[in-house]
Structures are given as C-alpha cells and as structure tokens.
Amino acid sequence: MAAVPAAETLDGHKDRFDLGVFVGGLAVDEEVTSDDESLEGLQQELDNCKNDQEVANILANGIKLREYTKGVENNIRQIELDSIQDYIKESENLVSLHDQIHDCDNILSQMETVLTGFQTEIGSISSEIKVLQEKSMDMGLKLKNRKAAESKLSKFVEDIIVPPRMIDIIVDGEVNDEYMKTLETLSKKIKFIDADPMVKSSKALKDVQPEAERLRQKAVSKIFEFVIQKFYALRKPKTNIQILQQSVLLKYNYTIIFLKEHAKEIYAEVRVAYIDTMNKVLSAHFRAYIQALEKLQMDIATSTDLLGVETRSTGFIFSIGKEPLKTRPSVFALGERINILKPALIPHIAEAKSHKYSYEVLFRSLQKLLIDTATSEYLFTDDFFGEESIFHDIFAGPIQVVDEHFNAVLLNCYDAIGIMLMIRIIHQHQLIMFKRRIPCLDSYLDKVNMSLWPRFKMVFDLHLNSLRNANIKTLWEDDVHPHYVTRRYAEFTASLAHLNVEHGDGQLDLNLERLRMAIEDLLVKLAKMFAKPKLQTIFLINNYDLTISILKEAGTEGGKAQQHFEEVLKSNIAIYVEELLLEQFSGLIKFVKSRPADETATNSEKASIAEVEPLVKDFASRYKAAIELMHYDVITSFSNFLCGMEILRATLAQLLLYYTRLTECVKRINGGSALNKDLVSISSILFEIKKYSRTF
C-alpha cells in the first residue's frame, strides 16, 4: 500500500474541524532518539517478521520504516478526529438514548419489585402445599388404620355374634342340609371363642358365650338323638345296611365331626352305640347265613375214606351216612369241584332247588361274603368316623361267629382235596383284598390259611399211612385189572397236582413223591399175591397204565410221578412180551438166545439141521394159531385197548425179530437150504401182524 503524504491528507479536509488548534504543533517527523533504547530481542523480532507479507512489501519497495510509521500514525490520528466529530453530531441522540435507558432502568426496577413480591408469595404458597401434603399423608395413614381396624372389627363381630336365624335352626329346625351348614357355622364360632386369646378379654364375650354354650348343648342333644335313631334303623329286619350307610349316614357325617370336636364324651357314646349295633347285626347276619349254608352241605369224606382202605368196609365206595354215592362227587377226583370260583351262593334259592354242595363251595361263599362286607364296612367307618380301629371292634363278633363254625367243620374234615381248594380260595381272597388295598382282614386270612395247612398235612398223612399200612390180604382180589386203590391214588394225585400248577408248592410236591413211593410199594405187594409171574406183570401194567391215563386226562403236564410210571410201565411191558412169547415159542427163543447173532460163530457154535428143523416146522405149523392166542391173551388181559394194541405190536415185532434170527441161523448151516420150503416168509408174518393190528 503506497504511503499518503501528510500535506495531501490535510488538503483533502480543509472544511473539517481543525483539530490542530487544540492539539498544538506536534512535529511527527522529529527523530526521537534515546540513549536508553534497548535493542535486546531485536534479532528475534526481525526473525519473526521475515515471513510477514506487509513487511516484505515495504522492504521490497525500499520504503523506510520510519516514514511509513509516521504515515500510519497520521492516518490514525485523522480517523480519531473523524470519530470525535461523529460523536459530537450524535450527542443529542446519545442523550436521548441515555434518557431511554434511564426510563427502562426505572421500569425494570419496578418489575423487579413486582417479581420479588411474586417470589415471596410463591414461597409462602409452597410452604402451604408442603403443610397440606403432610396433612394428606397423615389423613391417608389414619384412613388405612381405620379400614384395617374396621375389617378386624367387622370380622370379630361376624365371628362372635349369634344371629337369631342360627338360634331358630339349631333349636327348632330339623336335621337336614341347612342344619348341617348351620352346625358348621356354630362350630366355627365356638372354635373362635375358644382359640383367640383376645376374644377372652372382650366384654362382648360375656354376652355371647352363654348363648353359644346353650346352642352347643342343644345341637349335641339333637345330633345324638338323630344319630342313635339312624343306628337303630340298622337293626330292623331286611334292612339294606350298605344303602342306609351310604345314602343317609354318610350324608350327615358332619354330625360325628361336630361331636368329636365339641362333645367328646357324647362322641364316645355314639361310637360305642354304633359298634354294639353293627357287631350284633353283622353277627346275626353271618350266623343266619351259616345256618342256611349248613342245610346245603354235602359230606364228602370221613376218617375212613382213605386211599388204602378196603371198599367193603363201608358197604359202598366211600359212602357216608345216608348220602347216596351217585349224588356225591368222588372223594379223590377233583372233577367239577375246580369250578367253585363262581358268585356266592344265595342260600334260600339253592335250598329251593334242593341242591347240595361240597363244603369248599359253602366256604368260598361264606368267605366271599365276609371280605365284601368287611370291605364295605371298613370304607364306611373310615369315611364316617375317620378311624380305622373301629372296624376291628365291629368285626370282632362276626369273625368269631365265622371262626366257631369254621373250626367245628375243620375239626371233622377229612377231605384233602376240599382243604386244598379252601387254601387256594384263601390265597385268591388275599389277592383280591390286596388289589382293593384293604388291609383289615390280613391277619384273619393268614390265620385261616395257617389253620388249613396243618389239617391238610394231617389228612394227607392219613392217606399216606393207609397205603403204607394197608392190609394186603383184604385188599387183594384175584383180578389183574386195575385196582380201585390205584384209581383213587391217580385221581387224588392228579387233583392235587392240578391245584399246584400255578403255585409251585415244593412241600406239596415232596408229599406227592412220598405218596407215589407208597402206592408203588403197595402195587408190588399186591402183584406178588398172584401165583404166576405173568399175572403179576399184567396187574402192574394195568395199574401203571391207568395211573398215567388219569394223570394225562387231568392236564397236569406230566410231572415226576407220570414220568416215573411211564418208565416202569415200559420195563414191565418188555417183561410181559418175553413171558408171552415164551409161552408159545419157548424152544425158538431159547435156541436164538443161545446162538450168536452175527456170522462170527465157530463150527462148534453153529447149529445142525437136526436142531433147527423141528423149530422151523413147528413155527410154520402153528405160528398163525399162536399169534391168535397171543392176541386173545392181550385183549382179555388189558383194560386199555390202546395200551393192549401197543403191547401186541411190541410182542409181534419181537417175535418177528426172533424168527429173523432163526432164518439167519438156517442160512449159515451146511445144507440148510433144504429147509427153505418149510420157512415162513417175512411178508406172511407181516401180513398176520397187520391183520391183528387192524382188528384190535
């Protein structure tokens, strides 16, 4: 920027205010020198100005710094003078502005005063609001406390007050559903009075307690009369006890709860009254039922009806008293007696039909009635009285009645099959009670079971000893057919084995094994009474075969006894076959057995034509007649045709084997071909065997 000369500047402002008059003659071009001027830091400032553009331009144009400085100072001075002129021109405005500012300040002062007043008022209002808030919180707390007090007080009044309606129902009302609800309400009030310690210190208690006590006494009296009346209804003849219990007594079971809670002495009287009533009623029912069952009983066996007892000793086969044999099931066969698991008997219906039953049927009906009645009574007493122990007091009488009857019958019972059936019945009833989850008769059923097993063992031992100590002379009959003792044993064993299939009683199996050994010894002794060995063998075969047949028919799936008898039967059949062949072809059999069966025989051991020829011709002349005689002997000796046919086939097969060996001996003899014309062909013998096998 070019420097402006001072004269030129002044010439341009001739008409302006001459400030120089006031400031005097100040020479700006005078050099000011001072010896005290310090040059310290100059070099640093110069270094700083190297990069300044303005300084760089000045230095580039060759202008002296002092001159330039003077120009700048003059310009500044002129500008200052111009500014003063402007302020002078605007002095009125400034005065006006000052006045306005002063007025505004007054107004603002007044507003400050007003706002300060507002602030003071707002502060007082805030204090009042805080006071009101504290009062509101205090009133809310008081309201909450009053509501809580009102709630407790209203509940207290509700629990302690005795409404007139309640008094009317308790005193004059009938015992019905409404009476039960009122009774529950009264019970709650009595409990409230007795349980809450704050109530006892209440003045209201003095007014309410006597009234509540009178209501309690009245309720107890009315309940006692009502319940006792219902108990007496149970004693009426032909009353369905279970229906009365379920539809009437259980409906009003809260009466018992009320007595138990508020009148324990009266409850004890009610409890005793019910026990006495049901004990007598059920005892009478069971006594009448037992008397009716006794009329239907058919005796099966007595102490003389044993396996090894002679038939003639009782006139009929195990006839008992006047009971005809045809109307009694067999003493030793199970038969239809296995079907006893049917609905319990209705005595008057069975008596009207003139039916008679073995004792296990009556036993099953009696025990079924007992467990059903006990189940019903156990569940009722638990629901009505809430006590399980009361059941045992009630059923002490009925169980005693049943025990007396059972012990009397069992003492004279000699029916081993019937006793075993009763054991299985008790086991089945134990399972029924277990499934019902009713434990009330566990001890009774165990006791009956423990009574039956010793009796069964005693009767079983009687049968066993009857076989061991049997009188052979009185039992023996000159007859090779099965002995009646064998049939008794087989039926008896099959019956017990059938009843033991699902239970697997090892002790019973052991006893049956002892019985098998006893009957086998007895049969051997009876067989020895026959003079001929052949008759002895036939007798044993017939008896063994009968035993096996009966065991198979019983469906016992074999067993040790059956397996044993099959083995001894097989060995005795082999003995009989040999004896039968010896009767007809003794010479042939002795010859064949005396010669080796193979071709290793020496010359000395080989037979001669003289030895063989009579045997060959004898066999050819009478083998047909001999086979016919053996056939007749078999069919007349054995009762079982199937067994006889098997024995005949075995006999003829053995005969064919002996004759085949004879023909082989003939072939090995020098000159034996001369006997070929007398030899019977194997096919001819087979034809005869088939002929008799078909006709048998």
Determine the pLDDT at residue 323. Answer: 45
The reply to whether 47 falls in a domain is no
Task: Based on the fold, state whether residues 293 and 384 are members of the same structural domain.
Answer: yes
Task: Label residue 696 by pLDDT band (50, 70, 90).
Answer: very low
Q: In sequence order, which residues have a C-beta less than 8 Å from that of residue 483 and are 6 or more positions away?
A: 475, 477, 523, 526, 539, 543
Determine the pLDDT at residue 401. Answer: 93
* pLDDT average, residue stretch 552-573: 80
Of 469, 502, 527, the domain-final residue: 469
Determine the pLDDT at residue 186. Answer: 79
Task: Based on the fold, state whether residues 140 and 176 are members of the same structural domain.
Answer: no
Task: Based on the fold, state whether residues 300 and 449 are members of the same structural domain.
Answer: yes
Does pLDDT of 53 surpass 70? yes
Does pLDDT of 460 surpass 50? yes
Task: Based on the fold, state whether residues 300 and 378 are members of the same structural domain.
Answer: yes
Task: Based on the fold, state whether residues 254 and 192 are members of the same structural domain.
Answer: yes
Element housing 437 (H / E):
none
3-state secondary structure of 534: helix
* pLDDT average, residue stretch 384-405: 90
CA–CA gap between residue 404 and residue 402 (Å, rounded): 6
Determine the pLDDT at residue 33. Answer: 46
Task: Label residue 433 by pLDDT band (50, 70, 90).
Answer: very high
User: Which stretch of 270-284, 366-380, 469-483 has the lowest confidence by average pLDDT?
Assistant: 469-483
3-state secondary structure of 297: strand
Task: Label residue 2 by pLDDT band (50, 70, 90).
Answer: very low
Output the CA–CA distances (angstroms, integers) from residue 162 to 71, 157, 182, 229, in the order listed: 122, 9, 11, 29
Range of the domain at 94: 54-153
Determine the pLDDT at residue 435. Answer: 93
The reply to whether 44 falls in a domain is no
Does pLDDT of 457 surpass 70? yes
Q: Mean pLDDT of all residues in the chain?
A: 78
* pLDDT average, residue stretch 589-618: 71
Determine the pLDDT at residue 311. Answer: 63
Determine the pLDDT at residue 374. Answer: 92
Contact of 273 with 228, CB cutoff 8 Å: yes
Q: pLDDT tens across 663-688, in order?
A: 888 787 776 676 777 787 888 878 87
Q: To 5 degrees, how large is the angle CA 457–CA 462–CA 467?
A: 125
The reply to whether 590 falls in a domain is yes
Q: pLDDT tens across 90-146, in order?
A: 888 888 888 889 889 899 988 988 888 888 888 888 888 888 888 888 888 888 888
The reply to whether 486 falls in a domain is no
Nearest CA to 332 among 358, 300, 356? 300
Q: Decide which of 330 and 226 is more confident.
A: 226
> 117-155 burial, b for 16+ CB within 10 Å, e for fewer?
eeeeeeeeeeeeeeeeeeeeeeeeeeeeeeeeeeeeeee
Element housing 96 (H / E):
helix 91-160
Determine the pLDDT at residue 615. Answer: 84
* pLDDT average, residue stretch 311-317: 46
Nearest CA to 371 among 292, 423, 442? 442
Q: How many domains is the chain built from? A: 4
Alpha helices in 385-483 (DSSP H): 389-411, 416-436, 442-468, 472-475
User: Which stretch of 219-223, 578-582, 639-643 has the lowest confidence by average pLDDT?
Assistant: 639-643
Contact of 650 with 679, CB cutoff 8 Å: no
Output the CA–CA distances (angstroms, integers) from residue 80 to 14, 15, 317, in the order listed: 16, 17, 170
- 304: DSSP letter: T
CA–CA gap between residue 487 and residue 318 (Å, rounded): 13
Q: What is the CA radius of gyration of the chain?
A: 68
User: In the structure encoding, which two tokens stand for residue 420, read together?
Assistant: 């075993």
Q: Decide which of 370 and 142 is more confident.
A: 370
Does pLDDT of 45 surpass 80? no
Query: Backbone dihedral region of 510: left (phi > 0), alpha (psi from -120 to 50 degrees) or beta?
Result: alpha
Does pLDDT of 604 surpass 50? no
Task: Label residue 29 by pLDDT band (50, 70, 90).
Answer: very low
Does pLDDT of 597 surpass 50? yes
Burial class of residue 280, CB neighbours in 10 A (0-12, 13-18, 19+): middle
Residue 297: phi, psi to the nearest 5?
-75, 135
Determine the pLDDT at residue 23. Answer: 40
CA–CA gap between residue 333 and residue 489 (Å, rounded): 9
* pLDDT average, residue stretch 464-473: 88
Q: pLDDT tens across 147-192, in order?
A: 777 666 666 655 566 777 878 888 888 888 888 888 887 777 777 6
Nearest CA to 475 among 418, 422, 525, 545? 525
* pLDDT average, residue stretch 624-646: 85
Does pLDDT of 609 surpass 70? yes
CA–CA gap between residue 169 and residue 172 (Å, rounded): 5
CA–CA gap between residue 644 and residue 371 (Å, rounded): 53
Element housing 107 (H / E):
helix 91-160
Task: Based on the fold, state whether residues 175 and 302 are members of the same structural domain.
Answer: no
Task: Look up tokens 């096919």; give the residue.
Answer: 683
Does pLDDT of 337 surpass 50? yes
Q: Decide which of 461 and 63 is more confident.
A: 461
Does pLDDT of 300 surpass 80? no
Contact of 659 with 680, CB cutoff 8 Å: yes
Does pLDDT of 219 surpass 70? yes
Task: Based on the fold, state whether residues 301 and 212 are members of the same structural domain.
Answer: no
Task: Based on the fold, state whether residues 294 and 374 are members of the same structural domain.
Answer: yes
Tally of CA atoms within 13 A in the half-sphere of 457 that contains its CB: 9
Task: Based on the fold, state whether residues 206 and 128 are members of the same structural domain.
Answer: no
Task: Label residue 656 by pLDDT band (50, 70, 90).
Answer: confident
Task: Based on the fold, state whether residues 203 and 347 are members of the same structural domain.
Answer: no
User: Which stretch of 35-39, 90-94, 232-236, 485-489 has the lowest confidence by average pLDDT?
Assistant: 35-39
The reply to whether 63 falls in a domain is yes
* pLDDT average, residue stretch 532-558: 83
Determine the pLDDT at residue 336. Answer: 56
Contact of 578 with 593, CB cutoff 8 Å: no
CA–CA gap between residue 500 and residue 424 (Å, rounded): 9
CA–CA gap between residue 547 and residue 561 (Å, rounded): 9
Q: Decide which of 675 and 330 is more confident.
A: 675
Residues in a beta bridge with 274: none
Alpha helices in 161-176 (DSSP H): 164-172
User: In the structure encoding, which two tokens stand for residue 641, read together?
Assistant: 């045709």
* Percent of all residues in the chain with a pLDDT value above 70, rounded to a whole number: 76
SS (H, E, C) 577-640: HHHHHHHHHHHHHHHHHHCCCCCCCCCCCCCCHHHHHHHHHHHHHHHHHHHHHHHHHHHHHCCC
CA dihedral (120, 126, 128, 129) in degrees, to 10, reads: 160
Sign of the alpha-carbon torsion through 511, 515, 516, 518: positive
Determine the pLDDT at residue 399. Answer: 93
* Percent of all residues in the chain with a pLDDT value above 90, rounded to a whole number: 13
Nearest CA to 543 among 512, 522, 513? 522
Q: Decide which of 545 and 208 is more confident.
A: 545
CA–CA gap between residue 176 and residue 156 (Å, rounded): 28
Q: Decide which of 349 and 429 is more confident.
A: 429
The reply to whether 143 falls in a domain is yes
Determine the pLDDT at residue 387. Answer: 82
Distinct helix (H) and strand (E) counts, the chain: 26, 0
CA–CA gap between residue 265 and residue 262 (Å, rounded): 9
Task: Look up tokens 């019985």; give the residue.
Answer: 515
Residue 412: phi, psi to the nearest 5?
-110, 20
Nearest CA to 179 among 251, 263, 262? 251
Of 417, 449, 469, the domain-final residue: 469
Q: Decide which of 657 and 41 is more confident.
A: 657
The reply to whether 679 falls in a domain is yes
Element housing 22 (H / E):
helix 20-23
Of 124, 153, 182, the domain-final residue: 153
Task: Based on the fold, state whether residues 340 and 431 are members of the same structural domain.
Answer: yes
The reply to whether 337 falls in a domain is yes
CA–CA gap between residue 176 and residue 642 (Å, rounded): 80
Residue 613: phi, psi to the nearest 5?
-55, -45
Contact of 614 with 675, CB cutoff 8 Å: no
- 598: DSSP letter: S
Residue 193: phi, psi to the nearest 5?
-65, -40
Contact of 293 with 369, CB cutoff 8 Å: no
Does pLDDT of 338 surpass 80? no
Nearest CA to 327 among 298, 365, 347? 298
Task: Based on the fold, state whether residues 646 and 687 are members of the same structural domain.
Answer: yes
Nearest CA to 295 among 349, 223, 374? 349
